[in-house]
Amino acid sequence: MELLGGGRTSRFQRALVEEQGVAVSAYAFSSSDSIATGMIGVGATPASGVSLETVEAALETELAAFLAEGPSEDALERAKSNIAAAAIYARDSQTAMANWFGASLVQGMSIDDIVGWEARIRAVTRDDVMRVTDTYLNGQNHVSARLLPGETG
Amino acid sequence: MKFQSLLAAFAANVLAGCALAPSTQPEEIDAEAVMEDATSGLANVEVVESPGGVTAWLVSEPSIPIIAVNAAWRGGSASDPEGLEGAANLMAYMMNEGAADLDSRAFGARMEELNMAFGCSVSADWTSCTLRTLSANADDAFDMMRSGLTETRFDDEPMARAVREKLVQLKQSETSPRAIARRKMNAALYPDHPYAREETPESVSAATREDLIERRDVLMARDRLLVVVVGDITAYDLALKLDDVFGALPATSDVVEIPEAVLNMAPATPIVAPLPQPQTLISFSAPGPKRADEDFVPAYVLNYILGGGGFSSRLMDEIREKRGLTYGIGTSLRGSAHLGLWGGRTQTKNESVQELIDIAKAEIARLRAEGPSDKELADAKAYLTGAYPLGFDTNSKIAGQLMYVRQNDLGLDYVATRNDLIDAVTREDLMAVADKYLDPEAFTFVLVGEPKGFE
C-alpha cells in the first residue's frame, strides 16, 4: 500500500495527482491492527471540475497497471527503507513506542515480532508484494464510498 | 534530557532483543525532586553560532540516531503583496518540489531514499521549514535542505498542481463553518489590517515564478532567521552545517512591517452567517494580552480556569456538564506578533444558541466579579506546571518548544523558569487581568448556522 499511495513517489501520486491532474490527493492504506480481518483501502479527492466517476476509474486503472507490472526495484527499495526507518523515528516517542508494543501484544504478537519488524520489512521481495497484491486487490469484492455534496436549501 | 534518554535507552535495549528484567518493588520516589529534575533538565540548550553568523539553539541528544531541525524566518503571508494573497504559501509549497538538477519527482524520490522529511509552511507572521533525518544520512539530508531552500526550481508542473490543490481548499472553505467564522471575525475586528486579507482563486492563480522568487528573497533572509536543532549532532558539526545550509540566502532584506492590529469595538448583537445545518458554530473574541505583555502569564492561568482546562473549566462545567448544551466549549489566548486576542469557540443546536450565549457571558462576568476559588487556582497551577514536561518527550516537540521560546523572545532560561512564573501568579494578579479583559460586552460574537431568534 506504501507503493500504491504512501507518499510523494507513490503510483497514485504520480499518475493521478501529477500526470493526469484528476486528483489533488490520493492515498492507500493497510490496517492490520486487528484480531480478526484487517482492511486495505484506497481513496482520492478529485480536483475541481473532475467527477467522482473519473477519479474512481483512474484509481482502478492504476491498480490494474500495478497488478500487471508490479513495482520497480527502486520503488520497492524506497518503500521498504521508509517503512523500516519509521521504526527508528518511532523510538523518539514514548507514546508511539507504548502504543506499538501495547497494540501488538494485545493482538497476540510477541516482543520478538516487534524487535524483528525492521528485518522482516527489509526481507520482503518483489514476489511477496505481487502475491499479496494478487490475493487482496485482484477482483475481490470491495466497498466504495463516495462523499457527495448535500442538498442545499 | 535525563528522562527522555533513560526511556529511550530502555526502548533501544528492548529493540536489541534483550529480555525484560524481572520487575522489582519500586523504591520510594521523591515526587518534588523528580519534578524539579525533570524541568531543569528539560532542554539543555547550547547556543551555536556559525562562522557566517547564523545562530542555532542546540539540544545535543545522542540517544536516538535522528536529528530534528526547525528554521523560522520572521515574516509570512501577512506580507503578501496586494493581489498576490497566497504567494508565500505557494513559495513554501515549492521548497521541496525540485531543486538544482532534481525535478519534483527526483527530489521526492531522493528524500525517500534518504528517509528524510523536509518541507516548509507559512503563517501570517512566520515562514517555517523543518528537516527530520536519520543522523546516518545527515550530510546528504542537510544538503537537500540547502538545495531546496536556495536552488529551488519553481517548475511549472508542481506550481500548477499546488494551485489546483489550493483551489479545492478554497472551495471547501466556502462552506466550512470554522473558515466562515474566521472570515467574519476578521472582518468585524480589523477589516483593514493585513491579517484580514484572504486568498482568492484569482490571487492564488496570479503568482508567477518571479513573484515566488521575490517572496523567497524577501522573506528568507538570514537576519530574520531562527534555528533550533535537537538530536544526534554535536555543536561543532552543526556550526559548519549552518553555513552550508543557509549561507547562500540573502544576508538581509526589506520586509514591509506589519502594523499593530487595532480592534474594533464589539457590536451590540452577534454577527450571523447563515449556513444550513442543524447546529450553530459560535465564535467569540475580545482584545487580549500579547505574548510579551506582563498580563500574559496570569491571563494564561485564568484562561485555564475559564475555558482552557477542558472538563476542569467553568464554561465546560456550566454549559456541558450541567446543561448538556454542547459537546465542548473552550477558550484560549490567541494572537500573534501584532495582535492579542482572548476568545473561544463552541457549537450547539440552533435552538439553544441564545441560551448558551447568555450563560457564557454570565460565567465570564461571574469569574470577573468573584475570581477563582483557592482550589481552582491550586489545581490550575498543578496542571499547568505538571503537564509542561510532557511537551518535551520527542526531539520534534523539544524543537517546537524551543522555537516558540525563540520566536517570542522569552530567553534562554525560559524552559527552566517557566513553571516558577506560573507558580508565582497570585489571586490578585488574576483579578487584575479579569477586570481588564473579561468584560462580557467586549466580546464579538459570530454565529455560523441557522440560530433561532437571530433571523
CA angle A16, A19, A23 (to 5 degrees): 30
Asked if residues B329 and B370 have their Cβ atoms less than 8 Å apart, the reply is: no
Strands B279-287, B329-336: pairing is unpaired
- Per the document, the length of chain B is 455
Distance of alpha carbon B364 from alpha carbon B370, whole angstroms: 10
Give the pLDDT score at B18: 32
pLDDT of residue A148: 84
Tens digit of pLDDT for each residue in A21-73?
A: 899 999 998 887 777 778 888 899 998 889 999 999 999 999 889 889 989 99
Extract the residue ranges of chain B whose pLDDT is less than 70.
1-41
Residue burial B195-221, b: 16+ Cβ < 10 Å; e: rest: bbbebeeebbebbeeebbebbbebbbb
Please tell me the predicted confidence (pLDDT) of residue A152: 53
Residue numbers in A near B134 (CB within 8 A): 85, 88
In sequence order, the β-bridge partners of residue B134 are: B66
Share of chain A above pLDDT 90, in %: 32
Q: How many CB pairs under 8 A join A and B?
A: 81
CB within 8 Å: B168 and A24: yes
Distance between terminal CA atoms of chain B? 57
**Is pLDDT of A8 > 60?**
yes
Cα B372 from Cα B198, distance rounded (Å):
39
Going by C-beta distance under 8 Å and a sequence separation of 6 or more, which residues neighbour residue A146?
Answer: A52, A56
Nearest neighbour of A9 by CB, restricted to B109, B115, B161 = B109
B64 CA: distance to closest CA in chain A (Å)? 7
pLDDT value of residue B40: 55
Whole-prediction pTM value?
A: 0.87
Report the pLDDT value the prediction gives residue B21, as an integer from 0 to 100: 39
**Which one of B112, B164, B165 has the shortest CB-CB distance to A9?**
B112
Residue B27, pLDDT score: 55
Counting beta carbons within 10 angstroms of the beta carbon of residue B35, is it exposed (0 to 12), middle (13 to 18) or buried (19 or more)? middle
Q: Is the pLDDT of residue A151 over 80?
A: no
Q: What is the DSSP string of B19-32?
A: PPPPP-PPPP--HH
A28-37, A87-96, A118-127, B419-428 — which is least confidently predicted?
Answer: A28-37
Note the pLDDT tens digit of each residue in B408-424: 999 999 999 999 999 99
Residue B424 contacts A, CB cutoff 8 Å: no
Residues of A engaging B, defined by a Cβ cutoff of 8 Å: 7-9, 14, 17-18, 21, 24-25, 45, 47-48, 74, 77-78, 81-82, 85, 87-89, 91-95, 97, 111-112, 114-115, 152-153
Question: Above 90 in pLDDT, residue A134?
Answer: no
What is the pLDDT at residue A6?
A: 81
